[in-house]
Structure 1
Amino acid sequence: MDRHLKSALEALGPLLTQISNITGTPGISLGVLHHGEILHTASYGLQDVENRVAPNADTSFLLCSITKAITASMIGMMVEEGKLDFTTQLRQIFPEYQRDDAQANITIEDLLSHRTGLAPYDSLWLGSDNRIFLNRSDAIPTLSYVPSASPLRTRFVYDNIGYEVLGQVLEKLTGLSYLELLHERIIEPLHLNRTFFAQEPFDNNTAKSYAALGDGSFFGIPPWGHGKDLLIGAAGAIRSSVSDLLVVYKALIEAANSQVTQTSTPGADNPFKQMPMLLQGKIGVPNQSLREYSYASGWIRAELPAILDLFADYEPPILNNGSESRLMIYHQGYIPGNAGFVALFPETTTAVVLLGNSAGLTDAMKLLGQIIVETVLGNEVDAPTYIEVAKTASTNNVMLPNYVYQDLLHGKTQDSPKRSTSAYTGRYYNAIENFFIDINEVDGKLQVAYMGSDRDTFDLEPYQADSFFWWIDYDETVKRARLSGFPKEYFILSFGCPSKPTRWSFGANVRMGCLTWKHEFQLSGDGEVFQRRGSKVSNDMQRVLKTSMELK
């Protein structure tokens, strides 16, 4: 039977290549583990477009958020060794983590499962050209000040900074850096030779990172997650290959199965511990199904058939439609220049691994991953539907910035600033002063420069009253390695500090000295308030800035 499956997987090449071309993905590598044996590996396209170099099973790609499961597994090792519990509160490890709400009590398990309810605030750390604005030392202070998007343990709110903090927990418990710990606990026991972290150098079999332009051509961009002491490293900065990951997931599944049944013992070199707890669903994830769809610890649990629409900018075809129910444990990774998809089926010691070197015109890895999974499950692949979804999603994603621009123009009521430009210029800080926004006057016009970066500088156009907007088209967005898809509110900056920032203060006099930016859409309201350095605001406003609550 495996011979038939191997032939079916080999026959997928033309379809995978076609969808990769449609979605703007230069190169992919994939592998399938089935019944504990490597059944199939293949690579298509180019890992290096300029030099026409093809990828292979040993080509290392950035794993992006697939890294999270590795971080979670090392937390499991610490629990096994008695160094902490899943119920250990973060403030027991980092007393400097301080809040005055229920989120003061978040635990290791809350961080692992994205159920803290804290707003992610990704826009504060992710800059153009895959630059990370904040430092690792900013992680705990940021987690201490961000508003809550929902009550503790009531809603899934994906939080990269939470996994950065988990990496720092590992370092504090062991006295080792995350890089050293990764080598000691994962790379060396499993004898991996194509797995790296952050600052480790690239070699000539490392996939380059690309953006896909609107016409389908590729544009080289700086790699994300490469450097020393990077924030978010434990959430996304591992690089690995299909060959290494098949070894990792075989060991992980074997450990999970033996720990659940307690009838067998994994090999002596198997490092994975506490797998039943790590793979257990902890918080429900919204989905169009009555079946289980939940987040575990660095993994998503989906009871198939299911629509895997989490993080997707389109509705993918139903996976395993019309077939018997199967539990799939999976995750994906996505950042400008790289993407990936991993799916595990523990009952049959099956793993599907797919890695690519572009975020593409849309989420191609999920579509390609589903096609491979359907084949592994013995289902017929509806190729025309997958091709049509790829085309429609790609077109929509390219056109979305233009629709946003038209929406901004439709709401525009000011052709010139309400005040002199000097009333708006200055440097505006968030409540803990680890992020700032510069408003500068250049040739009589205003510009915004996030963190003072030239590549994060944009011309401002008058919008309404004391508000302005900026905008760049799709191609310029991806050339700068910026994420696209934000609604119009993201591009609007509103100036002024109401004397009493409450819902009843619409008629109050407006004083300059504050800037409001809607960068987090897990929160309601107008956005986060930033204060201009040297400006004086009321006690009420100081309280708003300190707690980072939103103006209504």
Structure 2
Amino acid sequence: MLLKSALEALGPLLVQISNITGTPGISLGVLHHGEILHTASYGLQDVENRVAPNADTSFLLCSITKAITASMIGMMVDEGKLDFTTQLRQIFPEYQRDDAQANITIEDLLSHRTGLAPYDSLWLGSDNRIFLNRSDAIPTLSYVPSASPLRTRFVYDNIGYEVLGQVLEKLTGLSYLELLHERIIEPLHLNRTFFAQEPFDNNTAKSYAALGDGSFFGIPPWGHGKDLLIGAAGAIRSSVSDLLVLYKALIEAANSQVTQTSAPGSENPFKQMPMLLQGKIGVPNQSLREYSYASGWIRAELPAILDLFADYEPPVLNNGSESRLMIYHQGYIPGNAGFVALFPETTSAVVLLGNSAGLTDAMKLLGQIIVETVLGNEVDAPTYIEAAKTASTNNVMLPNYVYQDLLDGKMRDPPKRSTSAYTGRYYNAIENFFIDINEVDGKIQVAYMGSDRDTFDLEPYQTDSFFWWIDYDETVKRARLSGFPKEYFILSFGCSSKPTRWSFGANVKMGCLTWKHEFQLSGDGEVFHRKGSKVSSDMQRVLKTLMELK
């Protein structure tokens, strides 16, 4: 009863931090010693109609989905349909590479240790639209550069989890949606858990961006639609009430499989949990204690600073107290966020879901406050409030600093080439992503994948390079991720063709552009070739020959 009272007393602090960080509504729940100890909801799930959330309100789980996808992989392994060491190319022969990453396994994909560059900017567009199709997943994984050697470094990869979803479908002959219902939703009798194409109802939280002044702006939901790319990485929607049931079953299965005793309840669907919860690759951290990635879960030996994915340094969790293992994950995409922490030794779980990514990572701060309370620690409220204020302010101001950096590097002389020299459609190597450069009223614009909402005016930067920029409010109104450094906004042109008798130096068409959209990789960025240029044609012939040789 003392713990329940302490959790109930957190309400004002949780609301205060939600207001500071621009989070309209949250729902939370605590499981302790296998019993649902506390649920609470604050704020609004629907700002326009002033509707409050409750324990049954469904929120997008974002990357918390990954652990559920991993659990279904565990079921396939338990049934002998798959092994953790099975190579991806054994399931999808069309996955082809000429480096060590040709040998990536299911376990590598589960633990983000493939070393492949994530290339998230190629699939995530404005307004929470997804540029690529599901059929692009394997070709994209086949062509992206390696950011590190295989199994040497943690490199978070959403496309890898999309591929795991497709592995499940190929092994079972069922869609991910059908498999989710058959293997998890129905056995656990979940009522508020959905996937992608399933319709919204009147108890589904709407998605919001937080503007710089703390007000809310409604944005389209992410992760909804048929045949959705990245669905297995982030498109499950669920509620606190359902997740507490799910995580209780998961923890009980893990504990019983470790001790080799029967799990409570004959319908427990979770299998291979000790392997799924085992750390597979270290994650950089300031602590000497364990901080590693398992399969859809992060393992943290507390006390620890949970700085993975954080845009600020959060307070030390469980500081000064005895060491405890916490298995956790968070989810984050424009309009949605969440945090889940498990403590298998006491069959405890903390679940927190929200309907905005906010001005900063509010779910981690709020989640830590609840975890501290569950562990019996005193919450240093001023430290958490100050962290929320500082991080929120810094994130709103960051785009202005980036813009000033761009202006400081901008050349003063006008470009020597005519604007028409840069226009055209530029493709990546496998031609599933393109960048349009258009001339409008004597100026040029960039349009990623030809989208109006991903179209931006270009300003001259240096010789044959241009930049675009939008401020913080416009960024979040378009449901775009913020926080990129200046290099992300610069497009550099090159590969100019040789002048002909009909052309002059200023009008020679540029054959390629370079865009640094992936910061796991060193160098200037990915090269995109203009359609119809000799360079582009030669590149396509080379790629075709390589594929035929394989």
- What's the TM-score once normalised by structure 1's chain length? 0.95
Q: CA offsets per residue over residues 160-203 of structure 1, 9 Å max, x none? A: 00000000000000000000000000000000000000010000
Query: Against the structure 1 CA distance between its residues 503 and 62, is the aligned structure 2 distance closer, same or farther, given a 3 Å change threshold?
Result: farther
User: CA 1:19 to 1:544, structure 2 compared with 1: closer, same or farther past 3 Å?
Assistant: farther
Q: Distance in 1 between matches of 2:148 and 2:500?
A: 20
Q: CA RMSD in A?
A: 3.8
Q: What's the CA shift for 1:497?
A: 1.8
Please say if residues 303 and 321 of structure 2, whose CA atoms lie closer than 8 Å, have aligned partners that are also in contact.
yes
Question: Do the aligned partners of 1:48 and 1:208 also contact (CA within 8 Å) in 2?
Answer: yes
1:512 Cα deviation from its structure 2 partner:
1.8
Query: Cα distance 1:386–1:533, how it changes in 2: closer, same or farther (>3 A)?
Result: same
Q: Is the 8 A contact 2:459 2:467 kept in 1?
A: yes
Distance 1:538 1:358, change over 3 A: closer
Give the C-alpha shift of residue 501 in structure 1: 20
Give 1:267 deviation, angstroms: 1.4
For the 8 Å contact 1:339–1:356, the answer to whether it is kept is: yes
Partner of 2:255, secondary structure, is helix
The 8 Å contact of residues 25 and 355 in structure 2, kept in 1 or not, is answered as yes
Structure 1, residues 333-369: CA drift from partner, whole Å, max 9, x if none?
0000000000000000000000000000000000000
Structure 1, unmatched stretches of 5+, are: none
Distance change >3 Å, CA 508–CA 418, structure 1 → 2: closer
Are the aligned partners of 1:253 and 1:346 in contact in 2 as well (CA < 8 Å)? yes
**C-alpha distance 548-304 of structure 1, shift in aligned 2 (>3 A):** farther
| 1:395–1:97 Cα change, 3 Å | same
**C-alpha contact (below 8 Å) 1:477/1:483 kept by paired residues:** yes
Change (3 A) 1:212 1:41: same
- The CA deviation at 1:376 is 0.2
Q: Name the CA shift for 1:504/1:160 in 2 (closer, same or farther; >3 Å).
A: farther
Cα distance change on mapping 1:147 and 1:544 into 2, 3 Å: farther
| Alignment map for 1:451-462 (pairs within 5 Å) | 451-462=449-460
Task: Tell me, yes or no, if the aligned pair for 1:525 and 1:551 is still in contact at 8 Å.
Answer: no
* Contact 1:529/1:550 (<8 A) preserved: no
How far apart, CA to CA, are the structure 2 residues paired with 1:525 and 1:153? 22
Gaps of 5+ in 2: none
SS of 2:338's partner is: strand
Shift in CA distance, 551/419, structure 1 to aligned 2, threshold 3 Å: farther
Aligned to 1:443: 441
Q: Deviations over 1:118-146 (max 9, x none)?
A: 00000000000000000000000000000
Secondary structure in 1 matching 2:345: helix
| SS of residue in 2 equivalent to 1:441 | strand
Rounded Cα–Cα distance in structure 2 between residues aligned with 1:505 and 1:250: 71
Once the two structures are TM-superposed, the CA of residue 266 in structure 1 deviates from its matched residue by: 3.2
CA offsets, 1:384-411, max 9 Å, x none? 0000000000000000000000000000
Q: Distance in 1 between matches of 2:504 and 2:232?
A: 44
- Render the CA deviation track for 1:414-443: whole Å, top value 9, x for unaligned: 453331111100000000000000000000
| Conserved? CA contact 1:135–1:230, under 8 Å | yes
3-state SS of 2:438 partner: strand
The offset of 1:265, in angstroms, is: 2.8
Whether the 8 Å CA contact 2:282–2:292 is kept in 1: the answer is yes
When residues 61 and 194 of structure 1 are mapped into structure 2, their CA distance, relative to the original with a 3 A threshold, is same
Task: Assess if the C-alpha contact under 8 Å between 2:418 and 2:506 holds in 1.
Answer: no
Shift of the 440–307 alpha-carbon distance from structure 1 to 2, 3 Å rule, reads same
**Alpha-carbon distance change, 268 to 502 in structure 1, aligned in 2, over 3 angstroms:** farther
Q: 1:499·1:508 contact (CA, 8 Å) conserved in 2? A: no
Asked whether the equivalents of residues 463 and 469 of structure 1 are also in contact (C-alpha less than 8 Å), the reply is yes
In the aligned structure 2, how far is the partner of 1:421 from the partner of 1:551? 40
Aligned to 1:415: 413
Q: CA 1:184/1:438 → structure 2, altered by over 3 Å: closer, same or farther?
A: same
User: Shift in Å at residue 528 of structure 1?
Assistant: 0.1
Taking the aligned partners of 1:319 and 1:247, their CA distance within structure 2 comes to: 26
Q: Secondary structure of the residue that 1:548 maps to in structure 2?
A: helix
Which segment is superposed worse, 406-415 or 200-209?
A: 406-415
SS across alignment from 1:537: helix
Distance in 2 (CA, whole Å) between partners of 1:507 and 1:240 is: 59
Separation in 2 of the partners of 1:551 and 1:531? Answer: 23
Once structures 1 and 2 are overlaid, which stretch shifts more, 301-310 or 407-416? Answer: 407-416
Deviations 1:240-263 (A, max 9, x none): 000000000000000000000113
Contact between 2:497 and 2:511, CA under 8 Å: does it hold in 1?
A: no
8 Å contact kept, 1:116–1:153 = yes
Measured after TM superposition, the shift of residue 510 of structure 1 is: 10
Distance 1:501 1:268, change over 3 A: farther
Q: In 2 relative to 1, CA 439–549 (structure 1 residues): closer, same or farther, beyond 3 Å?
A: farther
For the Cα contact (< 8 Å) 2:58–2:192, is it kept in 1? Answer: yes
Partner Cα distance (2:386, 2:328) in 1: 24
Q: Report the secondary structure of 2:509's partner residue.
A: strand
C-alpha offsets along residues 470-498 of structure 1, whole Å, 9 cap, x if unaligned? 00000000000000000000000000027
* SS of structure 1 residue aligned to 2:49: coil
- The count of aligned residue pairs is 548
Question: Residues 379 and 547 from structure 1, CA distance in 2 versus in 1: closer, same or farther, beyond 3 angstroms?
Answer: farther
For residues 410 and 153 of structure 2, what CA distance do their matches in structure 1 show?
36
Q: CA deviation at 1:149?
A: 0.1
Check the 8 A contact 1:63/1:240 in 2, yes or no: yes
TM-score (norm 2): 0.96
Bigger shift: 407-416 or 159-168? Answer: 407-416
On the 8 A contact 1:501/1:540 being kept in 2, the answer is: no
Paired position in structure 2 for 1:284: 282
Deviations 1:253-291 (A, max 9, x none): 000000001133331110000000000000000000000
Matched-pair contact (CA < 8 Å) for 2:529–2:536:
no
Matches within 5 A, 1:69-80: 69-80=67-78
**Aligned pair in 2 of structure 1 residues 532, 61: CA closer, same or farther (>3 Å)?**
same
Check the 8 A contact 1:131/1:224 in 2, yes or no.
yes
Taking the aligned partners of 1:500 and 1:316, their CA distance within structure 2 comes to 55
Q: Percent identity?
A: 96
Distance 1:398 1:388 in 2: 16
Q: Distance in 1 between matches of 2:263 and 2:184?
A: 18
Moved over 2 A (4+): 263-266, 414-418, 498-511, 538-552
Q: Distance in 1 between matches of 2:424 and 2:474?
A: 26
Summarize the Cα distance change of 1:545–1:462 in structure 2 as closer, same or farther, 3 Å threshold: farther
